[in-house]
Amino acid sequence: MDTNSGTVAVHNAHAADELIDRFFRVRGFSEQIAEPLSPEDCLIQSMDDASPIRWHLAHTTWFFETFLLKRDGEYRPFDECFEYLFNSYYNSVGEQYPRGKRGLISRPGLEETLEYRSHVDQAMRSLVDGHDLTDQERLVLEIGIHHEQQHQELMLTDLKHALSCNPLAPVYRDGACEDLDAAVGQSWVDFDPGVVRIGHDGDSFCFDNERPRHRVFLEPFQIADRCVTNREYLEFMEDGGYARPEFWLSLGWATVNEQGWQAPLYWQKDGSRWSQFTLSGRKPIRLDQPVCHVSYFEADAYARWAGCRLATEAEWEHAVCRQLEAPFSASQRGNWSDDLIRSGRCIHPKLSGTESHLNPESRLGEIDRDDAGQPSLADAMGNVWEWTSSHYSAYPGYRAPAGALGEYNGKFMCNVFVLKGGSCATPSGHVRPTYRNFFAPQSRWQFTGIRLARS
Amino acid sequence: MDTNSGTVAVHNAHAADELIDRFFRVRGFSEQIAEPLSPEDCLIQSMDDASPIRWHLAHTTWFFETFLLKRDGEYRPFDECFEYLFNSYYNSVGEQYPRGKRGLISRPGLEETLEYRSHVDQAMRSLVDGHDLTDQERLVLEIGIHHEQQHQELMLTDLKHALSCNPLAPVYRDGACEDLDAAVGQSWVDFDPGVVRIGHDGDSFCFDNERPRHRVFLEPFQIADRCVTNREYLEFMEDGGYARPEFWLSLGWATVNEQGWQAPLYWQKDGSRWSQFTLSGRKPIRLDQPVCHVSYFEADAYARWAGCRLATEAEWEHAVCRQLEAPFSASQRGNWSDDLIRSGRCIHPKLSGTESHLNPESRLGEIDRDDAGQPSLADAMGNVWEWTSSHYSAYPGYRAPAGALGEYNGKFMCNVFVLKGGSCATPSGHVRPTYRNFFAPQSRWQFTGIRLARS
Amino acid sequence: MDTNSGTVAVHNAHAADELIDRFFRVRGFSEQIAEPLSPEDCLIQSMDDASPIRWHLAHTTWFFETFLLKRDGEYRPFDECFEYLFNSYYNSVGEQYPRGKRGLISRPGLEETLEYRSHVDQAMRSLVDGHDLTDQERLVLEIGIHHEQQHQELMLTDLKHALSCNPLAPVYRDGACEDLDAAVGQSWVDFDPGVVRIGHDGDSFCFDNERPRHRVFLEPFQIADRCVTNREYLEFMEDGGYARPEFWLSLGWATVNEQGWQAPLYWQKDGSRWSQFTLSGRKPIRLDQPVCHVSYFEADAYARWAGCRLATEAEWEHAVCRQLEAPFSASQRGNWSDDLIRSGRCIHPKLSGTESHLNPESRLGEIDRDDAGQPSLADAMGNVWEWTSSHYSAYPGYRAPAGALGEYNGKFMCNVFVLKGGSCATPSGHVRPTYRNFFAPQSRWQFTGIRLARS
Amino acid sequence: MDTNSGTVAVHNAHAADELIDRFFRVRGFSEQIAEPLSPEDCLIQSMDDASPIRWHLAHTTWFFETFLLKRDGEYRPFDECFEYLFNSYYNSVGEQYPRGKRGLISRPGLEETLEYRSHVDQAMRSLVDGHDLTDQERLVLEIGIHHEQQHQELMLTDLKHALSCNPLAPVYRDGACEDLDAAVGQSWVDFDPGVVRIGHDGDSFCFDNERPRHRVFLEPFQIADRCVTNREYLEFMEDGGYARPEFWLSLGWATVNEQGWQAPLYWQKDGSRWSQFTLSGRKPIRLDQPVCHVSYFEADAYARWAGCRLATEAEWEHAVCRQLEAPFSASQRGNWSDDLIRSGRCIHPKLSGTESHLNPESRLGEIDRDDAGQPSLADAMGNVWEWTSSHYSAYPGYRAPAGALGEYNGKFMCNVFVLKGGSCATPSGHVRPTYRNFFAPQSRWQFTGIRLARS
């Protein structure tokens, strides 16, 4: 495996056993997500950006079939037409069924799609039982697992958008939405100027776009120790935020007016009270929750209104990494310490346990401080995706892998902005500080929020 | 009940028993249509003009609930929100869920929708058991039955369109498509000039737009004794029909170029052979079938290419009515005699019997002639809807009924053309010579065909 | 000249001298219209439906060049590229420069366009001096003259629309807008049922679509003796006319909401007072003027609100023709008698004399009545184009002429409605009762108004 | 003047005399550009992104009127309505006439617009004669001059686009297009890693977005010593460049297919030969000219095809600045040395002298090398705008000025990419290495080209 040759890097391939175990666990979790849904729920596509649950279930399966199983001469495809039907955007593989029409494909239905999954899972079992996986196979398997985890988050966000179109406000999973104690006030964390390194290091898995690790010069900056809350965002709204062009990017102002935006996505005003649509139905706004489902335009306008700005990607990543290495006690690291990333704020327990975790949460209690008196960054991972001011661009020395998997990331480096940190809907084990998520500045259907910075 | 006062007319109300019997038979038939379909099949909406099967099942139910049951103080609605959700276009009733988004409503799903139907059917049973229906109730019940029959045809055409978007070419019901003997040559039926009457007469049910019966002067004309066949239409295509502006209306030519039309809807060329998507999957073109799924633009262009024109609505209706009264022997009347209208070319036997009836059929054998040597009009009812050159306009003295039912017909009298005769998908008992169907000139997803006329 | 052969009919061709005289008079009038305008005024195109003045000046010239001069071997075209550039919609002639981009052609500019006109006029002089015109040439010349007159009206309406986009409200020609005495109340004129003839008769010029004269049966009806006034239309507006769906066609209601219509085109409310943009700048609404610049949708909605309807084309034409033949004294015929058509309400005197004629006028004084006590129809010609309820369709036996001129009328018979009578902007000698103007139901930029009818 | 307070910086304000002199020279040059044009040429607007010449003449005048003269109590505006009519995008000033409709405003025409210019110029003369300008006035005057220079370039590019819509291919100014000797082969210039500074330094004028000067870390890179030529770009085209998705960004590939791009803007293939529309009419492609009128998408795809990439903004600026400070002899600096920037490649001589300078030029002759053997960067300024891979974002510490002028730059920092170096159409004195131009990635109507880089 030679990263110089342009293939995606897995410097230290996991043992096949661990990988296969993880494969089946992750595959099973996709079906767990779909479990409370009717065949109809799994079919609807509410906008071009979103896809039906049924399509996600099939496409993630297609990934393993196309990039692993079909390379094996003995594999018998479930249905030859699926290569076309469930290809998302891989031009190297061939033509694609039009993205905006995924909701029109009633067959295969949910049941047959689950059979397709089972067919592929069995073939995967035969593959790994049949021979030792090659390095390339292990790499593709690893990518496929992470690919499926990405789609698990999309399943939840796409479903939320789709159900929100129904005036009956359907419930995906019940969940209490108790109001918590007030959030603590916001503090600033300071950073001196200097050359820092960002991007993924070492042998563990990452996507190609997180490499190569490289040097960046940061001028001095401050970053907020927590995200902006609904309470704070409401102040912006009540100060005429959506009606005052001076806070907005030109394209943002045009969007506000074309779309008639008056509040974050899913918010609705009933009399004098705001509520929001959630995966547990319509619920009152909780004032100390982080504001969520805002576009880049709104995040940027809020920051300008507050006399601040958004952090750059490099600032964000450096701030989080410094903290991870800082001498906090475990309890002092806020609720996103290494352990918590691995076990706590993950989606498994949420779905099987307390369903209110389908929403982001607010930081509680006291501010943690390190020895130098600097506060810790709370909720920086696994709560809301945090918009950065950085356009999604290639790192110096980046080269897309050869072949179809080279279409995974590089070709999207245009007119999208980087988001960091992962959200409540991101699966466990799928967040890391170097992760680069990216969406168009008008996107609002992901769990996206705001953390302030300033120079 | 006073037709002069502008309300819809049922001059000779059916006995309540017959009506109620018919109600349950027609209601049951809607469910029969849906029976081979999966929940997903019932949800998809492939264009704004079409609706999901599930929506048709709910909306036809909504009609009885809204216009009959809710007038009764004791009725408990199944779900209050359905008034909004399943209102099609009745501004008098209230706001409507956006038409183009009917495919996004996954709940109520198919199962709950069938419960809704059952709930309403039971309430209808209570209603008729509880008291003698008033004249107004009987009228609304009659309209509701015909309304449901209209939607039964739409269920088939909308489903055909939706399934056609799936590259897997799904089969709704299997059906053989044997090629028949060649169609007989086309002959002309002659008509002298004079004042004739058109529009509905007598006490039997009709829609408001078929009244009042009135006088029209017809200049001499001839009408073809059968519809244009695929074989004939292919000649037009091979003569460059779709590439020669001289045959087309200006709007038609624009549409041909914008849409890239090269053939009727659902046709596809594989090598040198044409096939068509049908409710039984993709099938070869049968040359002697009537050409079907053509727009007004195509019908008009074909007629001009053939040196002819389309008939006006009055010509068509007069020609068919003269024949119905003509001294043909039963066998001579072609295959659309009074008896056949009632029993033969209906949809019940088609669905439960030979499924190939989901396509139009060609006339077989010899030309029937009356005593004066005039040929009979074949297949004029229940085969393909025949485009007329007449814009859909109010008859002299027409007045829309008061109230919500006044929105049934009158408000659509703009930019649509009249079609006559019914198609293979029209339910039995729902065709009559005075029936006025109407679609926009670019519409192709109904079973629409061409009959020539000339002056 | 054989009308049966499908060519356009001039049964009694005018003497060449009269024709040539008229040619030069009409040509000169086009330039008179443009005379007060700057080169920039002549270039602007404010919507696809409208064209720049400069384009009208060139296209009407192109007509004579293409259909007369180029048939003559010796003619040297002014610029070969103009054949493409100034072709409006004649597919038989060749490709056309895109209609919506006519405002982008800065060269030839106004000056060069006038040279083009002069070049063609001189060639026309040579043509008629060189030989006796053939029948076909005289026919094309006659059509070309009427064609140019049609464009003269469009020059005024397109210019009005274009200037209205300028917040400076530019003045084309000054004109007083004094308020007149109140209009007289509206009366009804009665008609018995029976077969009547409509369509052009005799040898004088008409367009192909006015033929053949044919029989129509009219059920009894009444028609208003004058058009609806601004005062009356304001009552409709104040009664919530634009906010009540029950008055509107379904497409009309959609248009009202999409376009945000609240009043006729060019109306604007400043505080509590309505003004309208005119070719003489912005002016207060004159209450007793006929309402103008309303769409078919608005005309139809107004009529329904008033408990009436619009007349059909046949009713309108029959009513006007009966009056023309009625034993009114010249003074009793209202202000549109045969003489007035020829001399009074024409555009020449308006432009050179009282400019307020660039607006329609109200009927003054007493109602004229014939011997039977029936009132006369006032202002039926040369005031506002009156929407009829009739879709623009071919008359029985109509056949478009062969060749390019066959594209003149027939191919537009779709989704447009017939207007009758001519407007204040229609040139003298270009109105007659059989004239069939046609526009899409949403069109408002012509001088279009409303006359009521009822059964 | 305190840059810390957020106002635009002019650290060393020019003496008022020099400034005023320059004001009148620059003002005069705008009129020189318009001099060969007809009133019609000055009116046309061929797309939303472009504006009519007449609008540019008025808007640049509006700038001085709005931001300088109206602050003075005695000034009498030329026309009060112009504040609205010629406001481009300053929400702080008020509403704006819709951008896409600037071509519909025929009045004021060209003549009146020139009177408007004269009126404002006289008022400016009175202003400067009346009192010593304050610092703020001098700053606004300086910005206004640069603002007008920006519009001078747009006048040429917008005009080129507008004239290109005319099938007559009009000539703005005649110009020979001789083919030159072949361009020299391309060489690479090397750069070591390290912290560099970019952004404007010192007291001379710059726009707010060029500040603050700040530190950036550059990993090692190479940059091409000249731009890509038409000959090289044709190789890409002939290698299927426009048909192979693997070279394109996802949005770029979508654009190629939607727009049907097959070549740079203005190129046209006649038989086997390519020509291009220029301001001197249609001309054959000159193979050794830099390729021009390519979008970011095309620049990026070409670079990927060539196994390279585009430079980042920081790389480009650093490379050019290093060279400017390098010990080249004047002749060795290529043709863009300091002197040349000031005098040679400017627009004045081009317009009044050799008109072929309305196109970019190729580098001739030998490669210059410095003492270390590194080649010089040829044509880096004043030839074609060079796309960088950098999204247009705020520099660290950037703060938009207060008030309306704060809308000048900052609000456009979204979905546009930085271009460096200036083009043949950029006025003399308006290029500098720190200048940040920005356009959307699909834009092609500017004189935009490609310089390769690699890691």
Arithmetic mean of pLDDT, D212-220:
98
pLDDT of residue B131: 84
pLDDT of residue C176: 54
Arithmetic mean of pLDDT, A134-149:
94
Do B175 and B152 sit in the same domain of this protein? Answer: no
Do D69 and D190 sit in the same domain of this protein? Answer: no
Arithmetic mean of pLDDT, A414-429:
90
Work out the minimum CA distance from C8 to partner chain B, whole angstroms.
Answer: 17
Do A157 and A179 sit in the same domain of this protein? Answer: no
Confirm if A118 and A63 have CB atoms less than 8 A apart.
no
The first and second tokens of residue D103, run together, are 């071509």
The ipTM is: 0.91
Q: What angle do CA D308, D312, D313 make, to 5 degrees?
A: 145
Do B221 and B159 sit in the same domain of this protein? Answer: no
Residue of A nearest to D213 (CA): A219
**Closest alpha carbon to C217 in C196, C201, C200, C198:** C196
- Residue B227: DSSP 8-state: P
The confidence band for A357, taking pLDDT boundaries of 50, 70 and 90, is low
Query: With an 8 Å Cβ cutoff, are C104 and D46 in contact?
Result: yes
Of C39, C84, C107, the CB nearest to D170: C107
Q: Is D226 helix (H, G, I), strand (E, B) or coil?
A: coil
The first and second tokens of residue D243, run together, are 């048909």
Among A48-62, B291-305, B399-413, C4-18, the minimum mean pLDDT is found in C4-18
Do B323 and B392 sit in the same domain of this protein? Answer: yes
Do B194 and B127 sit in the same domain of this protein? Answer: no
pLDDT of residue C364: 54
Assess whether pLDDT exceeds 50 at residue A288.
Answer: yes
The first and second tokens of residue A292, run together, are 């969520």
pLDDT of residue D338: 35
Confirm if A451 and A223 have CB atoms less than 8 A apart.
yes
Of C195, C393, C406, the CB nearest to B389: C393
Work out the minimum CA distance from B282 to partner chain C, whole angstroms.
Answer: 33
Phi, psi torsion values for B197, nearest 5 degrees = -115, 135
Residues B69, C67: Cα–Cα separation, whole Å:
68
pLDDT of residue D86: 97
The first and second tokens of residue A66, run together, are 């196309």
Assess whether pLDDT exceeds 80 at residue A21.
Answer: yes
Work out the minimum CA distance from D165 to partner chain C, whole angstroms.
Answer: 7
Residues facing residue C437 across a β-bridge: C419
Residues of D with CB under 8 A from a CB of C: 38-46, 54, 79, 81, 84-85, 97, 101, 103-110, 162-163, 165-168, 170
pLDDT of residue A326: 60
Among B56-60, B296-300, D92-96, D333-337, the minimum mean pLDDT is found in D333-337
Of B248, B389, B415, the CB nearest to C415: B415
Query: With an 8 Å Cβ cutoff, are B163 and A106 in contact?
Result: yes
Do C158 and C200 sit in the same domain of this protein? Answer: no
The confidence band for A362, taking pLDDT boundaries of 50, 70 and 90, is low
pLDDT, tens digit, 9 for 90 and up, residues C6-21: 334 343 444 678 899 9
pLDDT of residue A347: 33
Q: Which domain holds residue D185?
A: 171-455
Residues of A with CB under 8 A from a CB of D: 89, 91-92, 193, 195, 214-219, 221, 245-246, 248-253, 296-297, 309, 389-391, 393-394, 396-397, 406, 411-415, 441, 455
pLDDT of residue A372: 77
Among C312-326, D9-23, D119-133, D434-448, the minimum mean pLDDT is found in D9-23
What CATH number is associated with residue C253? 3.90.1580.10
Do C69 and C118 sit in the same domain of this protein? Answer: yes
Arithmetic mean of pLDDT, D11-25:
76
Mutant choice from D78, D86, D104, D171 vs C, greatest count of C C-beta within 10 A? D104
Arithmetic mean of pLDDT, C385-405:
95
Do B147 and B190 sit in the same domain of this protein? Answer: no
pLDDT of residue B329: 41
- Compute the count of residue pairs across chains A and D with CB atoms less than 8 Å apart: 82
The confidence band for B324, taking pLDDT boundaries of 50, 70 and 90, is confident
Do B157 and B192 sit in the same domain of this protein? Answer: no
pLDDT, tens digit, 9 for 90 and up, residues D232-245: 999 999 999 999 99
Residues of B with CB under 8 A from a CB of C: 89, 91-92, 193, 195, 214-219, 221, 245-246, 248-253, 296-297, 309, 389-391, 393-394, 396-397, 406, 411-415, 441, 455
Confirm if D362 and D285 have CB atoms less than 8 A apart.
no
pLDDT, tens digit, 9 for 90 and up, residues C224-254: 999 999 999 999 999 999 999 999 999 999 9
How many structural domains are present in chain C? 2
Arithmetic mean of pLDDT, D102-107:
97
Residues A207, B174: Cα–Cα separation, whole Å:
48
Arithmetic mean of pLDDT, C58-77:
94
Cis peptide before D212 (omega within 30 of 0): yes
Do A106 and A236 sit in the same domain of this protein? Answer: no
pLDDT, tens digit, 9 for 90 and up, residues B144-177: 999 999 999 999 999 999 999 999 999 998 865 5
Catalogue the E-assigned strands of B329-396.
385-391
The larger pLDDT score, comparing residue A435 to residue C327, is at A435
Confirm if D310 and D303 have CB atoms less than 8 A apart.
yes
Of D101, D110, D165, the CB nearest to C104: D165
The first and second tokens of residue C206, run together, are 């008409």
Query: With an 8 Å Cβ cutoff, are D106 and C41 in contact?
Result: yes
**Number of other CB atoms surrounding residue A338 within 10 Å:** 10
Confirm if A13 and A142 have CB atoms less than 8 A apart.
yes
Arithmetic mean of pLDDT, C186-213:
94
Helix segments in D343-426, DSSP class H = 347-352
pLDDT, tens digit, 9 for 90 and up, residues B14-66: 467 889 999 999 999 899 999 999 999 999 999 999 999 999 999 999 999 99
Which residues of B are less than 8 Å from C251 in CB distance? 414-415
**Closest alpha carbon to D223 in D292, D312, D336, D341:** D312
**Closest alpha carbon to B414 in C243, C444, C295, C421:** C295
Torsion of CA A326, A327, A333, A337, to 10 degrees: 70
The yes-or-no reply on D/B contact (3 CB pairs or more, < 8 Å) is: no
The confidence band for A403, taking pLDDT boundaries of 50, 70 and 90, is confident
By CB neighbour count within 10 A (0-12 exposed, 13-18 middle, 19+ buried), where does B448 fall? Answer: buried
Query: With an 8 Å Cβ cutoff, are B39 and A40 in contact?
Result: yes
Note whether residue A4 is domain-resident: no
What CATH number is associated with residue D160? 1.20.120
Distance of CA A150 to the CA centre of its chain: 7
The first and second tokens of residue B444, run together, are 């192709």
Residues C386, A414: Cα–Cα separation, whole Å:
55
Catalogue the E-assigned strands of B392-454.
417-420, 437-439, 448-449, 452-454
Work out the minimum CA distance from A148 to partner chain D, whole angstroms.
Answer: 21
Q: Is the dihedral of CA C205, C208, C212, C216 positive or negative?
A: negative
Work out the minimum CA distance from D70 to partner chain C, whole angstroms.
Answer: 21
Residue of D nearest to A196 (CA): D217
Note whether residue A5 is domain-resident: no
**Number of other CB atoms surrounding residue A400 within 10 Å:** 20
The first and second tokens of residue D447, run together, are 């004189």
Of A251, A252, A455, the CB nearest to D396: A455
Residues B346, B424: Cα–Cα separation, whole Å:
7
pLDDT, tens digit, 9 for 90 and up, residues A242-266: 999 999 999 999 999 999 999 999 9
**Closest alpha carbon to A143 in A340, A325, A403:** A403
pLDDT of residue B364: 54
Query: With an 8 Å Cβ cutoff, are C411 and B248 in contact?
Result: yes
pLDDT, tens digit, 9 for 90 and up, residues D321-368: 988 775 544 333 333 333 333 333 333 334 433 333 577 776 555 666
Percent of chain B at pLDDT > 90 equals 71
- Compute the count of residue pairs across chains C and D with CB atoms less than 8 Å apart: 96
pLDDT of residue B367: 65
Q: What pTM was estimated for this model as a whole?
A: 0.92
Residue of C nearest to D47 (CA): C104
Arithmetic mean of pLDDT, A429-447:
94
Confirm if C429 and C150 have CB atoms less than 8 A apart.
no
Neighbours of chain C (3+ CB pairs under 8 A): B, D
pLDDT, tens digit, 9 for 90 and up, residues B207-233: 999 999 999 999 999 999 999 999 999
Confirm if C391 and C306 have CB atoms less than 8 A apart.
no
Arithmetic mean of pLDDT, B116-134:
93
Residues B213, B234: Cα–Cα separation, whole Å:
39
- Residue D341: DSSP 8-state: I
Distance of CA A63 to the CA centre of its chain: 19
* Three-state helix/strand/coil letters over chain A: CCHHHCCCCCCCCCCHHHHHHHHHHHHHHHHHHHCCCCCCCCCCCCCCCCCCHHHHHHHHHHHHHHHCHHHCCCCCCCCCCHHHHCCCCCCCCCCCCCHHHHHHCCCCCHHHHHHHHHHHHHHHHHHHHHCCCCHHHHHHHHHHHHHHHHHHHHHHHHHHHHHHCCCCCCCCCCCCCCCCCCCCCCCEEEECCEEEEECCCCCCCCCHHHCCCEEEEECCEEEECCCCEHHHHHHHHHCCHHHCHHHCCHHHHHHHHHHCCCCCCCEEEECCEEEEEEECEEEECCCCCECCCCCHHHHHHHHHHCCCEECCHHHHHHHHHHHHCCCCCHHHHHHHCHHHHHHHCCHHHHHHCCHHHHCCCCCCCCCCECCCCCECCCCCCCECEEEEEEECCCCCCCCCCCCHHHHCCHHHCCCCEEEECCECCCCCCCCCCCCCEEECCCCCCCCEECCEEEC
Of C40, C79, C108, the CB nearest to D106: C40
Last residue of a domain, one of B147, B164, B181: B164
Last residue of a domain, one of C143, C164, C185: C164
Note whether residue C2 is domain-resident: no
By CB neighbour count within 10 A (0-12 exposed, 13-18 middle, 19+ buried), where does D338 fall? Answer: exposed
Query: Residue type at B3?
Result: T
Residues D31, D29: Cα–Cα separation, whole Å:
5
Residues D428, C185: Cα–Cα separation, whole Å:
73
Arithmetic mean of pLDDT, C47-69:
97
Give the pairing of strands A437-439 and B309-310: unpaired
Which residues of C are less than 8 Å from B219 in CB distance? 214-215, 396-397
Give the pairing of strands A273-278 and A281-284: antiparallel
pLDDT, tens digit, 9 for 90 and up, residues D176-189: 555 555 567 899 99
pLDDT of residue D5: 35
**Closest alpha carbon to D172 in D183, D161, D180:** D161
The confidence band for D382, taking pLDDT boundaries of 50, 70 and 90, is confident
Residues facing residue D270 across a β-bridge: D273
Do B147 and B196 sit in the same domain of this protein? Answer: no
Last residue of a domain, one of D138, D164, D190: D164
Residues of C with CB under 8 A from a CB of B: 89, 91-92, 193, 195, 214-219, 221, 245-246, 248-253, 296-297, 309, 389-391, 393-394, 396-397, 406, 411-415, 441, 455
Assess whether pLDDT exceeds 50 at residue A444.
Answer: yes
Of D215, D219, D391, the CB nearest to A397: D219
The first and second tokens of residue A32, run together, are 């767990």
Terminal alpha carbon distance of chain C: 42
pLDDT of residue A334: 36
Query: Residue type at A382?
Result: G
Which residues of C are less than 8 Å from B91 in CB distance? 245-246, 253
The first and second tokens of residue D392, run together, are 């247009």
Query: With an 8 Å Cβ cutoff, are C414 and B251 in contact?
Result: yes
Phi, psi torsion values for B420, nearest 5 degrees = -125, 150
Assess whether pLDDT exceeds 60 at residue C340.
Answer: no
